[in-house]
Amino acid sequence: MATTTPQIQASIFSQVPSVSTRQYNYGYYPLLKGDIAPIFQLHQSSFVSIQHFFEAKQPLVIAFYTNLLNNTTGIQQLETLQTQVNQHGGNLIIITSNTSKAFKKAIASATNLNVFVDADNSIAELFGLYDDANPLTNWLSGIEDAAAALPALYVINPERQIVHHFIDYQFELFGNANTNNHFTDGVFEAVDNIYNTYTYLNVRYNKLVS
Q: pLDDT band at residue 184, thresholds of 50, 70 and 90? A: confident
Cα(first)–Cα(last) distance of the chain, in Å?
Answer: 60
CA distance 182 to 130: 24
The DSSP secondary structure of the chain, one letter per residue, reads ------B--GGG---S-SHHHHHHSTT-----TTSBPPP-EEETTTTEETHHHHHTTS-EEEEEE-TT---HHHHHHHHHHHHHHHHTT-EEEEEE----HHHHHHHHTSSS--EEE-TT-HHHHHTTS--TTS-GGGT-BT---TT----EEEEE-TTSBEEEEEE-TTS-TTT-TTTHHHHHHHHHHHHHHHHHHHHHHHHHHHHHH-
Instruction: Give CATH for domain 24-209.
Output: 3.40.30.10
Q: Report the amino acid identity of residue 73.
A: T
Mean pLDDT over each residue of the chain, to the nearest integer: 81
pLDDT tens-place string over residues 9-27: 333 333 444 433 444 588 8
Q: pLDDT band at residue 8, thresholds of 50, 70 and 90? A: very low
pLDDT tens-place string over residues 89-143: 999 999 999 888 888 888 888 778 999 999 999 999 999 999 999 999 999 888 8
pLDDT at position 84 is 94
CA distance 31 to 190: 16
Whether this model's pTM surpasses 0.85: no
